[in-house]
Chain A
Amino acid sequence: MTVKGFFKSNVFKCLATLLCVLLISGIFLTIMNALLAVTPEEKFQRAISKIYGKNVATTAVAVADYNSNATIEEAYRVEDGNYLVKSTGKGGYENGTVTCWVVIEFNNGAVCGIGKVVIDSNKNQSYIDRVTDKALNQFGELYNSEINEKGFTENMITNATVKGTKTAICNAVNGALDFVNNSFGKVRALGERFLEEIQKAYGENVISVYGTDDKGVEKLITKEDETVTGFKVEAQHGNATVNEYYKVKYTVDESEILHYLITSTGNGGYQDGTVTCRVAIAITNGKPTTIYNATIIGNVGQSYINDIKHMGNYSGKDITGDGFAFEPSGDFLSSGATKSSTAIANAVNGAITYVKTLTFEAPETNPDGDGGDNGEGGNS
């Protein structure tokens, strides 16, 4: 084929047409890309608008990781004084991750709440859509009430059924909190958190909680305490290990009331796991008489712990009888969580058994005849 023949052939026509189409398309897309490209700043403002509902001024701050379960990607100080942190939580489903934007409310040099949590992206989290806005809003609601020194745990978030993904989200939020606390604020003392947690059970009553100092000497716990230590026990009682206890004192009608707040871990839970409870036992006339309340403060492997609904049934129960023990049945059993109910009953029984081994000083007699019906306890 001659050169002239080639240029007149169908092959050339096909090639030329295809090249022309490609060239025109390429030029068109290049122009459109220049006109319609979304800049990283625009993307960031969109992310902020999703969270705040409006555009807000932000200042980027240097990032650092203070939590091994999370990586801080970006962080900004917002014009309202709060911090906006993009944090990636590890430990998700199939070792995946979840990246979240977390608004940390910040006031007077300290973290005071979580404004909002928004999921930005994820890796391997097939069921991420099960984590609804309702579930994410719980972070703001639970802060200051449920959060303890370990931060958020996946079982606190109830409106979603994806354990791995929730773990990664909790890690992301905890990482963001640790970052802001450590980088910009004074860390809220453990004593403050601890007292708030205990105070919840006592409502309006002004309480004094006593633990020990580092030498084991009894001391009043204050909000400023950076460590909180109870009276160490670590003894096995039945199917439970009693870990420690605190003394709670408060006054009602000029009478001082004493409670022993015992931390006890019950065995025999789901898949041989455990449930740790804090059991407040009233000491009257130098003897343990009733359970004031019992709360779950931790568990190992109890997937159905959120199905436990009967903890309130322990409140006010008389424990004065000999050989007294709660059975995981009737009022002390939650359907769907039989094994966890067993572990809880074991924990409560362990706490009761332990407190009955203690001896308490006889109450002082009040010459006027009122008050003084409570004894001061001590180690047996």
Chain B
Amino acid sequence: MNKYKKITLDGLIYQNPTFMLVLGTCPTLGLISSAFSAMGMGLTVVVILTLSNILISALRKVIPNSVRIPCYIVIIATLVTFARMFLEKFVPDLYDSLGGFLALIVVNCIILGRAEAFANKHTVPEAAVDGVMQGLGFTLALTLMGIICEFFGKGSLFGYEIMSFSIGMLSKPAGAFLVYGLSIAVFTYVIDCIERAKRVKANKLARENLLREVA
């Protein structure tokens, strides 16, 4: 398989940071009560993750191994501070809705995790694609759960009122926790079904080949 295709599929599905690796749980539970905030947080993470992966990959041969973690933290913190400044200046509504979670991206496990597990071992283009795909995987997961929580918790979608009926608890972190758990279960089940179907198909093919060889 093409390595970029593998990175893409890993980021979006097989190593999805939210559903498969269960990383970035704090902003997930805090922000999925609103689809707008969830998507905003996801897109911010895409930008920060991509830039940090690029920088860390580019500097991987310059930064000594013993100070790599402090260096990564400084780089990520710089990017997060820049993102905060940018959002406050140009997208104030999103800046207000993300609140403290924006600053907490510095300690987001996804970003430091990808820096440590992927970016410092791969080339700049690969690290960039990994950053975009992992970020998009996070964004899609957050937006999907944000839509569910906002629709059933507030009766609205992206702030526009759809219906008057709502289940208040789903717009709170406790409800978000339930939706998160159920989403992980459904996602894992679907992936599991696909993998099983693939395995059955491969086994069938192998058996047919074996029978053909025997015959």
Contact = CB atoms under 8 A, between A and B. Distances in A.
Contact of B85 (A13, A17, A21, A36): A36
Specify the main secondary structure of chain B where it touches its partner.
helix
Nearest to B59: A21
Contacts of A37: 85, 89
Interface string A8-51: 00100110011001100100110011001110000000100000
B164 to A, nearest CB: 11
B75 A21 contact: yes
B86 A18 contact: no
Contacts of B74: 18, 21-22, 25
Contacts of A25: 74-75, 77-78
A21 B64 contact: no
A22 B71 CA distance: 8
B70 A28 contact: no
B210 interface: no
Size class of the contact patch on chain A: 10 to 19
B25 to A, nearest CB: 21
**Chain A CB within 10 Å — which of B75, B82, B86 has the most?**
B82
A18 B81 CA distance: 18
A29 B81 CA distance: 8
A217 B64 CA distance: 95
B143 to A, nearest CB: 20
Given A10-B64, A32-B85, A38-B88, A17 B71 contact: yes
B64 A17 contact: yes
Nearest to A28: B78
B67 interface: yes
B62 interface: yes
Interface residues of B, number: 18
B66 A10 contact: yes
A14 B75 contact: no
Nearest to B92: A46
Contacts of B67: 14, 17-18
B78 A18 contact: no
Interface in B27-78: 62-64, 66-67, 70-71, 74-75, 77-78
A14 B82 contact: no
A18 B82 contact: no
A32 B82 contact: yes
A36 B89 CA distance: 6
B64 A14 contact: yes
Contacts of A14: 64, 66-67
Given A22-B74, A38-B88, A38-B89, A28 B66 contact: no
A267 B81 CA distance: 60
Contacts of A38: 88-89, 92
B92 A17 contact: no
A32 B89 CA distance: 11
8 contacts: A10-B64, A18-B71, A18-B74, A22-B74, A32-B85, A36-B85, A37-B85, A46-B92
Interface of B: 62-64, 66-67, 70-71, 74-75, 77-78, 81-82, 85-86, 88-89, 92
Interface of A: 10, 13-14, 17-18, 21-22, 25, 28-29, 32-33, 36-38, 46
| Minimum-distance CB pairs A-B, first 10 | A25-B78, A36-B85, A14-B67, A36-B89, A14-B64, A21-B71, A21-B74, A18-B67, A13-B64, A32-B82
Given A14-B64, A28-B78, 16 more contacts: A10-B66, A14-B67, A17-B62, A17-B67, A18-B67, A18-B70, A18-B74, A21-B63, A21-B74, A21-B75, A25-B75, A29-B82, A32-B85, A33-B85, A38-B92, A46-B92
